[in-house]
């Protein structure tokens, strides 16, 4: 099966920039989606197709994808951004075809 690897945790001070990575074999050839999950709540889509934002998601959230690493970047981090973040791809030749990363806990210091 296809494996996505995320760092368990990232810490950043308010107002700074957080970068959360998602590693996978040739992930740059796939479309990567990112979800934010706060405790006790369902995931929320924050970036899709590598770098597109759903309506209602602040421009502070952006994404990139190349080679073996995709990155979610959160600029001007706010306390309300503290959450778990998951990357997700579709890998048609594996089972399961929908794969999530292990999640990264973003802590705002």
Partner 1 sequence: QVQLVQSGAEVKKPGASVKVSCKASGYSLTSYGIHWVRQAPGQRLEWMGWINAGNGNTKYSQKFQGRVTITSDTSASTANMELSSLRSEDTAVYYCARDQGELVFDYWGQGTLVTVSS
Gap between the Cα atoms of 79 and 16, Å rounded: 11
Applying CB under 8 A, which of residues 15, 54, 58, 67 lies at the interface with partner 1?
A: 54
Residue 107 interacts with partner 1 (CB under 8 A): yes or no: no
Gap between the Cα atoms of 76 and 86, Å rounded: 20
Residue 57 interacts with partner 1 (CB under 8 A): yes or no: no
Residue 101 interacts with partner 1 (CB under 8 A): yes or no: yes
Alpha-carbon distances, residue 42 vs 5, 83, 91 (angstroms): 21, 11, 23
Applying CB under 8 A, which of residues 43, 60, 68, 69 lies at the interface with partner 1?
A: 43
Applying CB under 8 A, which of residues 12, 33, 77, 108 lies at the interface with partner 1?
A: 33
């Amino acid at each position: 099966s296809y494996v996505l690897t995320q760092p368990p945790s990232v810490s950043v001070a308010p107002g700074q920039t957080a970068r959360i990575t998602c590693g996978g074999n040739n992930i740059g050839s796939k479309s990567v989606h990112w979800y934010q999950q706060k405790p006790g709540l369902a995931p929320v889509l924050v970036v899709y197709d590598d770098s597109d934002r759903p309506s209602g998601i602040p421009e502070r959230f952006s994404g990139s994808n190349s080679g073996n690493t995709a990155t979610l970047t959160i600029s001007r981090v706010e306390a309300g951004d503290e959450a778990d973040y998951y990357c997700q791809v579709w890998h048609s030749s594996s089972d399961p075809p929908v794969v999530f990363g292990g999640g990264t806990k973003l802590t705002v210091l």
